Amino acid sequence: MIDLFGFLRFIINLILYPFAVAFLTFYRCLQWLGLQPIAYNYQDQIVLITGSANGLGREIALTFARAGASLALWDIDDIGNRETQQQCLAILHSHNYTSRVRIYHVDVTRATEVYAYAERVRYDLGQISILIANAGYVSGRSLLTESDADIERTFDVNSLSPIWLIKAFLPYMLDANRGHVVLISSVLGIHACHGPVTYVSSKHASLGLSRSLRLDIHATHPNSRVFIHCICPYLMRTKMFNPMLTQISLKFIVPIISPHYVAKQVLDAIEWRRNEVILPYHLKYIGFINDYLLPAWFSEWFLFQVSGKRPLDAFNKDNEEDTRERRRKQVNTGQTENIDLI
């Protein structure tokens, strides 16, 4: 079996190598012509991040804190969000930055709440220049066993909440003619898999939102300096997806990635103005080969190996979002709903 895996690794590398060489040559030519990423002074930027209490959201917040940005952190997990805030403040103080970090208890699935706290952020920090729609939800159940409430929450968090955020902040970005909207989608928003059907569907919706919105801005504001980015990572080592990692095969071809790596690529996408980013990068070429060059039977076998034959079997039904909801109720007992700390 080891020899077989070694042979498969050799074949995959052989196929991908010309693509990698071509990309590197093109990239070096652009550098030789003087093309460089946009230099940002993040100390002048105000960044709003949803789902900032844990996982990828926290890593994105820490990465922007290292760059010196002021942060507005939105989540329903007040305890986790407070921990994120303290870690960001420690980083800012260690670098002698004067940037601010505020946390807000916001349920992004409620449009009226999003609009109200958008005004609160503008009053506290000013108009944001970078919006990171990161909050996500997965129930860990198949379509036929998933409750109607779970299905609605999946689309509320993954598909509808970015729309409420965009409606709340994009008009001000367009008026100022500056800003970045970053939607955290998924590779599953491009290449479907079996198992979490509603999650896959919701991530397809977020990817379509980013593409359509980008075209709409270009049509209505042709010279706008407002940019839309969509980040599509593969499975990450977070609480939300850790149970699924044991079901995945062929990790030597499509490795599990870390939230820290994805967070760094978010800043990279902003600085290079990349519209869509698939992580890890070589997954773009694997997806192209799988979709257009491989026979259907092999393509299906490959997808089953990458995503797992039964990816939901080991999924922890008491997932991260459920834990957040319980912790929110515990914190709110005897307290006001809003938590806004400096």
Contact 77, 54 (CB under 8 A): yes
Name, in order, each residue with C-beta under 8 angstroms of 332's C-beta and a sequence gap of 6 or more.
78
Query: CA distances (Å), 32 to each of 24, 25, 39, 243, 271, in order?
Result: 12, 10, 18, 45, 18
Task: Give the residue ranges of DSSP H helices in the chain.
Answer: 2-32, 55-67, 78-94, 111-124, 148-155, 161-176, 197-220, 259-272, 283-292, 296-307, 320-332
Q: Which helix (H) or strand (E) holds 230?
A: strand 226-233
**Rounded distance, CA 168 to CA 111, Å?**
9
Q: What is the DSSP letter of 158?
A: I
199 noted as active-site residue: yes
Which residue among the candidates 97, 104, 137, 199 is catalytic per the annotation?
A: 199
- Cis amide bond preceding 280, omega within 30: yes
**Rounded distance, CA 269 to CA 8, Å?**
31
Q: At what angle do helices 296-307 and 283-292 cross, to 10 degrees?
A: 140
User: How would you classify the pairing of strands 179-184 and 226-233?
Assistant: parallel
Structure tokens at 292: 């257009």
**Rounded distance, CA 324 to CA 109, Å?**
14
Catalytic site residues? 199
